[in-house]
Amino acid sequence: MAGPRSPEVVAVAVSVVLVVLLLGGCGSAPPESRQSAPSMSRPAEPVAEKKPAYATGVVTGLTPITVMKVESGPKSVELMPDGRRLFINDLYGHKNFIFDVDSYQQLMSIQLPDEPVEADFSPDGRVAWVSLYNSSKVLVVDTVAGAVVGEVATGSIPKEVAVSPDGKWVYVANWNSNTVTVIDSATRTAVKEIAVPATPRGICFSPAGDFAYVCIMGGSTLSEVDVGAGHVISRQIPCGSNPRHVVPSADGSVLYVSNNSPGTVTLIDRKLGAVQYVIKVGSQARTIVLSGDQAYLFVCNYGDNTVGCVDLTSHKQVFTIPATMPIGITLSERGDRLFLANYAPPQVTVYQVVR
């Protein structure tokens, strides 16, 4: 919003209005048909789309709204960068689906050659990078044309995909070859394979994009990768056993890690590389999502068939709801709706976040 106008600007504005009124009374064309004086007009500017304010307040429940049917088995669901579309990886149906986030209607279906696992996006959302479980590659998907426009070879059984905040780098965790593939997004070529400990799964970048963090699901650490130093591992950070998914806080100070076997969520001080809290959730904690107000975290408790809500002030799971085979999860841009990928029945369930 513009600041208060100076007295000089106000005076000029008043003078122009008086002149227009006087001319109108002398039989000239009505004021509505006139162009504003050049000194008072502003050139047309593109209007920046404002992000909606995050929902706040105490979360007391999740109320089902509707379901979005998917053909086979949705592995993951992601909110796209525009905040208006959902991107679904249908693992068993070998397809990507794009849905409207408000109408819940399917916008497009994209046929793929293999089983899609995870995806991440260019900052403008035009390109989706999609990992294929059996093909040792990621696909480049044009989300406007609804077509596969390229592919890049990776290691064996690529899982999580993460795009750096500036869109320059794409990291792919290769589950079976114990590597992370580094892709230059501009040239769409792999430029490095980073050797990591056994069974890498989740990946995230710090908000500044200077470091990346890889869940070593076969162990109990996060591999920290220094992006600017040439994609090299800078340290191993203890995070509890069997880490599967990792997300950063908005300011990058905390890393939230889901631990599959112990059924916990671990909070890591990123600077110190030290555990802050360990929160007991449900069996086989899988995908997690952080609320926009940074006050809550939602977790897929796959083994319990529940979704859990974690209060990040009390550091407790405050409630769960039943959910059949919950595997992927995301929130609307404002955070007032939650989208849950269920393996069976094959659907994405939409919930109202009750505050």
Strands across the sheet containing 200-205 = 200-205, 211-216, 221-226, 232-238
| pLDDT band of 1, cuts 50, 70, 90 | very low
Residue 191's pLDDT is what? 99
Q: Is residue 96 part of a domain?
A: yes
In a domain, 100, yes or no: yes
Over the chain, what HEC string results? CCCCCCHHHHHHHHHHHHHHHHHHHCCCCCHHHCCCCHHHCCCCCCCCCCCCCCCCCCCCEEEEEEEEECCCCEEEEEECCCCCEEEEEECCCCEEEEEECCCCCEEEEEECCCCEEEEEECCCCCEEEEEECCCCEEEEEECCCCEEEEEEECCCCEEEEEECCCCCEEEEEECCCCEEEEEECCCCEEEEEEECCCCEEEEEECCCCCEEEEEECCCCEEEEEECCCCCEEEEEEECCCCEEEEEECCCCCEEEEEECCCCEEEEEECCCCEEEEEEECCCCEEEEEECCCCCEEEEEEHHHCEEEEEECCCCEEEEEEECCCEEEEEECCCCCEEEEEECCCCEEEEEEEEC
Position 147: which residue type? A
Q: What angle do CA 309, 257, 222 make, to 5 degrees?
A: 180
Q: What is the CATH number of the domain that holds 266?
A: 2.130.10.10
Is position 124 within any domain? yes
Q: How many domains does the chain have?
A: 1
Please give the residue that has the higher pLDDT: either 33 or 217: 217
For residue 193, give both structure tokens: 């394979």
Per-residue pLDDT, averaged over 185-203, amounts to: 99
Cα dist. 242→84, 247, 257 in Å? 34, 15, 10
- Residue 5's pLDDT band (cuts 50, 70, 90): very low
Structural domain including 204 reads: 76-288
What pTM was estimated for this model as a whole? 0.86
Residue 42 belongs to some domain of the structure: no
Digit-coded pLDDT (tens) for 91-142: 999 999 999 999 999 999 999 999 999 999 999 999 999 999 999 999 999 9
Is 203 within the bounds of a domain? Answer: yes
Query: What's the confidence (pLDDT) of residue 291?
Result: 98
* 9: Cβ contacts below 8 Å, ≥ 6 apart: none
CA-CA distances (angstroms) from residue 57 to 93, 193, 294, 313, 336? 39, 44, 11, 12, 11
| Mean pLDDT confidence for 3-32 | 37
Q: Is residue 99 part of a domain?
A: yes
pLDDT > 70 in the chain, percent? 85
Using pLDDT thresholds of 50, 70 and 90, give the confidence band for residue 51.
Answer: low
